[in-house]
Amino acid sequence: MNSSLEATPKIALVEDEPSHALLIRFNLESREKEVVHFESGDEFLHAKLYQYDLIIINVDLYDIDGLQLCTQLKDKGVSAPILFATTNPKIEEECCFDTQIQYIVKPFSIKDLVTKVEQLLEKKYLVV
């Protein structure tokens, strides 16, 4: 997907579980993605740097519900696609109305994660 003329996709990862964050970050960075990790929703909101091509959010963050975080981001005008990582397969009911929001159920395979990330990035670049 990346040619020498294209910028490296920048992904925000909001994940409070260190082992999950490390696994996701390693696998996406090995596929030429820049990943910026935030350990909490609060840390991400206070960073105020929302210029990402994609945002991956753990729905079950310890400090804020991932769905509430998504609402706050949308209220701030953030237009990046969002990928929810969740243990709750019923999240589909919350995501089905917005094509810029997808979900992946934990535990997930790296192949499935990479596929979802690539699909959302492709949609973003087609819309721009």
- Report, as an integer, the average pLDDT of 15-35: 97
Domains in the chain, start-ordered, CATH in brackets?
10-127 (3.40.50.2300)
Edge to edge, the sheet with strand 10-14 lists 34-38, 10-14, 54-58, 82-86, 101-105
Each residue's pLDDT tens digit, 52-63? 999 999 999 999
- Report, as an integer, the average pLDDT of 41-67: 92
Share above pLDDT 70 across residues of the chain, in percent, rounded to a whole number: 86
The answer to whether 54 and 70 have CB atoms below 8 angstroms apart is: no
Output the pTM of the full model: 0.88
What is the CA angle 92-36-123, rounded to 5? 45
Closest CA to 57 of 100, 9, 97: 100
Each residue's pLDDT tens digit, 86-96? 888 777 666 55
Task: Classify 77 in phi/psi space as left (phi over 0), alpha (psi -120 to 50) or beta.
Answer: left
Average model confidence (pLDDT) across the chain: 87
